[in-house]
C-alpha cells in the first residue's frame, strides 16, 4: 500500500470516445475513435504520463455530424488516425515504457509482490462502459487481442456513489458537487480523462480507498 493507505500507487485513467449517432442507432456497433490514458500518482496527485491517439473507425468510417459536435473530433483526425489494432499495440508499448521507468506492476503480475520497490497500478474509468462494453465488444467483433491488463478496473462512478452516498449527474456533475470546475472540453476523451483523474485525486484526499470494482476474468460468459 502507498503512504496514504491506497492499495494502488498509480492509477491509469481511460476515457474512450466512440462513433455515435443522434438516434442512438442501437443496431450500429460503436467503434473507438479516441484512445486516451493518463497516469496518476496517488501519493502526489500529479499526472506523470499521458497516452493519446485518434483511431480510424473501419465499420463506419464517416463520423456523424452528431458525433463531431459531441466529441469535437473531426473527420480528418480519424482519417489520419490508426486502426484499433495498431493503437492497442502502441498503447501496450506505452504501458511497457512506464512499467520500466516507474517500476509499475499490474494485478495480473503474480511475481510483483516479491519486488519490494514495485509500484502497484490498475485502471480507472467513469462507469463500466469503456472497458466492459466498448473495447470488449469491438475487440471481439474484430478478433483483436485485448491486453489482459484491461480486464479489471475501478468504476469511479460506482465508487463515487458509494463513498459520498449520492448519485452524480455525470462526470461534470460529480466534479461540480465537489466544487471542482471541469477543465477543457467535455466529451474530449483526453480532457475527460484528465478531469476524471482530478476527481479520483480529490476522492483520495477525502479518504476514499480506490478498489477494483469489476473483473472480466471471473465472467467466462463474456
- Give me the active site residues, please: 17, 187
Q: What is the DSSP letter of 6?
A: -
Q: How far apart are CA 122 and CA 106, in angstroms?
A: 6
Task: Indicate the length of the chain as a whole number.
Answer: 222
Q: Do 19 and 73 contact (CB within 8 A), yes or no?
A: no
3-state secondary structure of 176: helix
Q: From residue 140, how far is each of 73, 83, 116, 149, 199 by CA, in Å? A: 25, 15, 37, 16, 31
3-state secondary structure of 154: strand
Q: For residue 47, what is its C-alpha cell? A: 499526472
Beta bridge partners of 10: 41, 121
Nearest of 87, 78, 67 to residue 142 by alpha carbon: 87
Nearest of 152, 157, 172, 169 to residue 203 by alpha carbon: 157
Amino acid at each position: 500500500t502507498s503512504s496514504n493507505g491506497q492499495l494502488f500507487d498509480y492509477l491509469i485513467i481511460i476515457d474512450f470516445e466512440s462513433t455515435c449517432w443522434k438516434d442512438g442507432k442501437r443496431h450500429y456497433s460503436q467503434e473507438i475513435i479516441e484512445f486516451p490514458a493518463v497516469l496518476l500518482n496517488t501519493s502526489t496527485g500529479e499526472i506523470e504520463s499521458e497516452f493519446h491517439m485518434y483511431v480510424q473507425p473501419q465499420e463506419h468510417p464517416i463520423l456523424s455530424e452528431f458525433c463531431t459536435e459531441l466529441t469535437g473530433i473531426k473527420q480528418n483526425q480519424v482519417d489520419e488516425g490508426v486502426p484499433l489494432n495498431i493503437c492497442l499495440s502502441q498503447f501496450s508499448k506505452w504501458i511497457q515504457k512506464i512499467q520500466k521507468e516507474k517500476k509499475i506492476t499490474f494485478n495480473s503480475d503474480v511475481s510483483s509482490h516479491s519486488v519490494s520497490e514495485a509500484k502497484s497500478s490498475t485502471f480507472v474509468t467513469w462507469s463500466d462502459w469503456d472497458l466492459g462494453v466498448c473495447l470488449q465488444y469491438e475487440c471481439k467483433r474484430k478478433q483483436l487481442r485485448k491486453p489482459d491488463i484491461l480486464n479489471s478496473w475501478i468504476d469511479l462512478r460506482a465508487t463515487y456513489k458509494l463513498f459520498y452516498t449520492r448519485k452524480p449527474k455525470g462526470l461534470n456533475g460529480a466534479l461540480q458537487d465537489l466544487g471542482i470546475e471541469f477543465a477543457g472540453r467535455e466529451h474530449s476523451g483526453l480532457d475527460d480523462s484528465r478531469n476524471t483523474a482530478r476527481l479520483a485525486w480529490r476522492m483520495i484526499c477525502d479518504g476514499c480507498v480506490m478498489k477494483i470494482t469489476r473483473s472480466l476474468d471471473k465472467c467466462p460468459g463474456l
